[in-house]
Amino acid sequence: MSGKVAEPPSSQQAPVAEGPPLAAPTSPVDSEELTGAVDDRIRVALLLPLSGPNSKLGEALLHGAEMALFDTADDRFSLIVKDTGGDPDGARRAAEAAVAEGARMILGPLFGQQVAAAGPVARTAAVPLVSFSTDLNVSGDGVWVMGILPRIQVQRVVGYTSSRGLRRIAVLAPASPYGDAVVNALYQSAARTGAAIGAIQRYAPEETKLSPLVTALGSEMDAVLLPEGGNRVRVLAPLLAYHDIDPAKVKFLGTALWDDPTLGAEPTLIGGWFAAPEPGPWANFAARYREFYAEAPPRLASLGYDGTALASVLARSPSGPDFSPETLTQPNGFAGIDGIFRLTADGGVERGLAVLEVRREGPVVIDPAPKTFEELGF
């Protein structure tokens, strides 16, 4: 699996090398600080919801971070773990405590509202904050989002679809912030690829009577984007087919919400395309996680690993620890469980994703993720 992070020059991409650890990571019991054995420690804070309604997600991100510590950190690297609880005030207090304890970089929080609360604390202290959020509205000026943004997923699948001659793309999306991000990304992708945008239909997330919206999509399209997952897309796809949007003639497209091995049980989704990280590194990570923690990880757990591995690499820079914006946003980026990524000057993130096709037996990669950003053409 993706294990140790190699120590590159500052201008080089930081690859994740192969190699399983020799033993399981150790969870912190009595201390908030996962630390080495010497006094000249390089402190990085990890802000997670370890209590409240999202504590299971927070625990999984912490486990991912523990695995990265075991694989990549040296004895000087110290991870200060802080609980953000379930509200923005908890995130603000956690950030204040992290700064007071000498954190030189902050990882987390997870949710946009908490990032908005913690961000000003980090900015005032000139401490870079790399969150696990996908909310670009809270990023910028020393605060980054590291999540797999909807715009990256849409750009990748639309670019691939257009390159295959399917250029008129419609969308049926929920009227939600996620749906807004997808539709906006479709417009941006169309401008970049020369694709044409067909009908756009939106619906309330709780809406159940969707037939009128489906028929309003019309028939003048090469592909239709369905940014839903789980049971919702299992209902939408056959509804489209029922209203004569034939998946044999119109390509069904999705986002990383389609990264579900059971979707192939719905016949109308078979052959659909979506963008997501390469499945191999995640599968290996998940197997190790299950071995260590006796449960399957949620998909977000890899962000805890990749964020902590990034921080530990920067802490071991040849010229000394370097968490500067220039190093965080180096053009060649870094590599992790979820593939190559690089933070951008505006607080966003760019990623190299694969394109996968839904098959009965599970998703299959039909266009591999790039290994360098040069392959992406930017």
The residue-averaged pLDDT of 229-256 equals 96
Tokens 């930081």 found at: 14
Report how far residue 48's alpha carbon sits from residue 65's, in angstroms, rounded to the nearest whole number.
11
Looking at residues 145-171, what average pLDDT do you find? 95
pLDDT at 376 (0 to 100): 64
> What is the average pLDDT value for the chain, to the nearest integer?
89
User: CB within 8 A of 232, min separation 6: which ones?
Assistant: none
The predicted model gives 263-272 an average pLDDT of 97
How confident is the model over 114-129, as pLDDT tens digits? 999 999 999 999 999 9
pTM: 0.87
pLDDT tens per residue, range 71-82: 999 999 999 999
Confidence of residue 21 (pLDDT cuts 50, 70, 90): very low
Three-class SS state of 167: coil
Cα separations in angstroms, 199 against 175, 224, 229: 15, 9, 21
- How far apart (Å, rounded) are the C-alpha atoms in residues 266 and 243? 16
Instruction: Determine the average pLDDT of the residues in 337-366.
Output: 96
What digits encode the pLDDT tens for the residues 192-228? 888 999 999 999 999 989 999 999 999 899 999 999 9
Question: Any idea which residue has 């080089």 for tokens?
Answer: 12
Q: Is the pLDDT of residue 176 over 60?
A: yes
Instruction: Please tell me the predicted confidence (pLDDT) of residue 86.
Output: 84
